[in-house]
């Protein structure tokens, strides 16, 4: 049986003023969807968030869903601290 990865991620806009927290089983595809505007009426399109600044990986879908909800419930400063712990310059992360 193949182990599947699940990703909890945070994307932002060019000025790092808006954060979107999401979860997916295919990070490359999902970030591409955000960048291409596949879902026109979505939060990411309204606020032009497309820059990947943080992600974590788990093999348990329930852990990923729980973690996404946890981070979504945080105040902004806590999300910023989390992002900076992995990405101190808020650079756009590249997925390969």
pLDDT (tens, 9 = 90+) of the chain, 96 residues, equals: 789 999 999 999 999 999 999 999 999 999 999 888 777 788 888 888 899 999 999 999 999 999 999 999 999 999 999 999 999 999 999 987
Q: Note if the pTM is more than 0.85.
A: yes
Distance of CA 6 to the CA centre of its chain: 11
SS3 of the chain: CCCCCEEEEEEECCCCCCEEEEEECCHHHHHHHHHHCCCCCCHHHHCCCCEEEEEEEECCHHHHHHHHHHHHCCCHHHHHHHHHHHCCCCCCCCCC
Copy the structure tokens of residue 37: 């505007």
Domains of the chain are: 6-86 (3.40.1440.10)
């Amino acid at each position: 049986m193949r182990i599947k990865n699940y990703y909890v991620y945070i994307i932002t806009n060019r000025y790092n003023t808006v954060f979107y927290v999401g979860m997916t089983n295919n990070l490359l595809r999902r970030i591409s969807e955000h960048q291409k505007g596949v879902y026109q009426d979505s939060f990411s399109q309204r606020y032009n968030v497309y820059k990947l600044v943080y992600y974590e990986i788990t093999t348990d879908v329930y852990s990923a869903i729980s973690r996404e909800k946890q981070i979504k419930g945080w105040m902004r400063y806590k999300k910023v601290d989390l992002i900076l712990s992995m990405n101190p310059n808020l650079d756009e992360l590249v997925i390969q």
